Structure 1
Amino acid sequence: MRREPIVLFDNGEHQCMMFDDLVSREGVQSNQFLITDNEQYLLLDPGGDLTYTPLSLELSKHIPVQDLTYIFASHQDPDIIASLDKWLLHTRARVICSKLWARFLPHLTANYLALSRGINTFDRIIALPDRGQSFALGKCTLKAVPAHFLHSVGNFQLYDP
């Protein structure tokens, strides 16, 4: 099983890597992407429990995982965002997702987050309006593009110019 990411783009300051071989045996392999720009980091669709450990180990070879800036959830399926509680516990990342799904994400986080670490899931969510939104990562601007017709209502794709 190959674990190293495929580098899709790298100009020295901005990089995009794809992780596509993290789940073995049963389970759904969704692709995870890491976009870095000037020491800010965005993880796209971090996956579920089967993906969390291998992905976090691979990420740690490329970035300080605790300094993850954003987690982008294109939609709310378990293979996309079910590992959210672990990412909130071990990073300072804010979660970018559809405003439709923002109210459901706290259901994926355990009470121990709030009780033991004082983490409020709602305070770490950036809820995207239906029309989409641009946001900064380092010195670049990424665009959340509405794609509600592609998979489900509230689905977004990320455009990295």
Structure 2
Amino acid sequence: MGTDFLEHYRGKMISLDEPTLLYEESDHRIYWLGIEEETAFRCNVYLICSGEEYILIDPGSRQYFEQVKRRVAQVVDPNKINALILCHQDPDVAASMVDWLELNPAITIISSARTNVLLPHYGRSDYTFYDIADHMQYSFKNGKKLRFIEAPFLHFPGAFTTYDETSAFLFSGDIWAALDTDWELLSSDFETHKLNMDLFHVDYMASNIAARGFVRRLDGITLKGILPQHGSIFSEKDVPLALEYLKNLRCGLDIVYADLS
């Protein structure tokens, strides 16, 4: 039985000088790496360590590559990173892939085919590509598994989320992202945080149909944590509220073409 540390951080400030452990079970650990700068668009970078394999989720922009690399080095030699999961191609998510490939050309890029059409525009295409649609899961050598759940038009057609079966954490990319200058690692007040999510979702997400369709894909999946790429994390306590938020979300085309609904 693993240890979920999310609730431990409720109402607490974390150190921005070191990785933050979010989950641990024998040889399977999950860390928040993030960035040090106080910015409303703070990017959450996550590291999964499973056995002797190490995967970065949404490693971020080139601007913060050295910061993220230093954080990784506090856990494992950065040269040992095996793969990058890129939920879509935006620079705040994926641009540092070229720096990671420069460090270790053997790194595998895990993403959707639609994302992979655009990734070479960052400057290199000589990498091993793992198409999530061909597998829908990734198996670590120790038997632990990641599951990929597609999230079309939230906000990119090829967007997807990553579900860690061991921790029951969902790495949700831009879904449930928030813009917040008064940032905390774990959301402590969901109702207040909804306003921060609105600042992102209303403009970036496609429609309520896309949001509700994605929630339906989560039916039957146990969620003990939601870990977006911007804003605060949600522990199991707030998962039902987070799902309800998406179900009721009016955004994007719902607003632009309100007269057609």
**TM-score bracket for this pair, using the shorter chain length:** 0.7 to 0.9
Does the CA-based 8 Å contact 2:19-2:74 persist in structure 1? no
Give the structure with the larger helix fraction.
Answer: 2
Q: Which amino acid aligns with 1:13?
A: D
Q: Partner of 1:14 in structure 2?
A: 28
**TM-score in terms of structure 2 length:** 0.53
1:51 equivalenced with 2:64 (yes/no)? yes
Corresponding residue SS for 2:66? helix
- RMSD over aligned Cα atoms: 2.0
**Which 5+ residue runs of structure 1 have no aligned equivalent?**
111-120
Q: Which amino acid aligns with 2:156?
A: S
Q: 1:138 aligns with which of 118, 136, 141?
A: 141
Q: Partner of 1:80 in structure 2?
A: 93
Q: Partner of 1:126 in structure 2?
A: 130
Q: Partner of 1:95 in structure 2?
A: 109
Mapped to 1, the partners of 2:44 and 2:80 lie a distance apart of: 21
**Which shows bigger deviation, 22-31 or 57-66?**
22-31
**TM-score in terms of structure 1 length:** 0.84
Does the CA-based 8 Å contact 1:84-1:109 persist in structure 2? no
Q: Which amino acid aligns with 1:154?
A: G
List, as ranges, runs of 4+ consecutive aligned residues in structure 1 with deviation greater than 4 Å: none
1:147 equivalenced with 2:151 (yes/no)? yes
**Paired residues, what number?**
149
Q: Deviations over 1:104-160 (max 9, x none)?
A: 1111125xxxxxxxxxx354121222x871111232111111112432211111100
Mapped to 2, the partners of 1:13 and 1:150 lie a distance apart of: 33
Q: 1:67 aligns with which of 61, 64, 80?
A: 80
Identity %: 24
Q: Deviations over 1:58-95 (max 9, x none)?
A: 10111121111110001111100011110101023100
Does the CA-based 8 Å contact 2:16-2:36 persist in structure 1? no
